[in-house]
Chain A
Amino acid sequence: EVQLAQSGAEVKKPGESLKISCKGSGYSFTSYWIGWVRQMPGKGLELMGIIHPGDSDTRYSPSFQGQVTISVDKSISTAYLQWSSLKASDTAMYYCALIVVVTNTDWYFDLWGRGTLVTVSS
């Protein structure tokens, strides 16, 4: 069974760092892009960035460039999303998703993880 298993909920203080994870299983992890999607409380979906586990090619959406770091450890089939200094406005649910890429402009999010809730509060 194809699965994306995300790490558990986090409660952090402003200024702290954080790294959350997404472990793929049941498929060739290095063959598919992984995306990270933010959903703020009561709001819609926003793509933060994507990474290709095969070569670590990483692309960030303009709004998130410089705000987060996406990385991968293909030896353990795990992608990461990290912050160096959290803000209260980073409070959100974060989903990872397996992306099927047909062409550079034709892709879709085929499978989603259950999400990691990040709460940042003093």
Chain B
Amino acid sequence: QSVLTQPPSVSAAPGQKVTISCFGSSSNIGSNYVSWYQQLPGTAPKLLVYENNKRPSGIPDRFSGSKSGTSATLGITGLQTGDEADYYCGTWDSSLSAWVFGGGTKLTVL
């Protein structure tokens, strides 16, 4: 079990908005930056958001990140079928002195 908790799955219709949550604690999300990764089926993960809310070049502004207290959220607007993927949050855990990933959330665009 990961120290970062994500819902196993979320779903929404094309064009709609979805949020994916990542719950942690004061030793990880509460005190460190969060990044998010998208893994399309059969491919390697890709960085979507870093330092809570920054997007790498080439990532559309449909993707956004935020953090409040000990939880972080990835938002995706204008959903497309091509957004169907697994999404992972990650951060440093100061108590474990280790990097941790969330368990991942499977997004289905109905």
Q: Which residues of A contact B (CB under 8 A)?
A: 35, 37, 44-47, 61-62, 95, 97, 100, 102, 105-115
Chain A residue at smallest Cβ distance from B46: A112
How many positions in chain B have a CB within 8 Å of any CB in the partner chain? 26
The smallest C-beta distance from A11 to any residue of chain B, in angstroms, reads: 19
A47 to B35, CA, bound (A): 14
* B45 and A95 form a contact (CB under 8 A): yes
Chain A residue at smallest Cβ distance from B31: A105
Top 10 A-B pairs ranked by shortest CB distance? Answer: A108-B35, A108-B50, A112-B44, A105-B92, A44-B104, A45-B101, A47-B99, A106-B33, A105-B32, A44-B103
* A44 and B102 form a contact (CB under 8 A): yes
Chain A residue at smallest Cβ distance from B35: A108
Please, could you name 12 A-B residue pairs with CB atoms under 8 Å apart, sorted by A?
A45-B104, A46-B101, A47-B98, A47-B100, A62-B96, A102-B51, A105-B31, A108-B50, A108-B90, A109-B35, A109-B47, A113-B44
- Whether, in the assembled complex, B56 has its beta carbon less than 8 Å from a beta carbon of chain A, the answer is yes
Q: Which of A37, A46, A106 contacts B51 (CB 8 A)?
A: A106
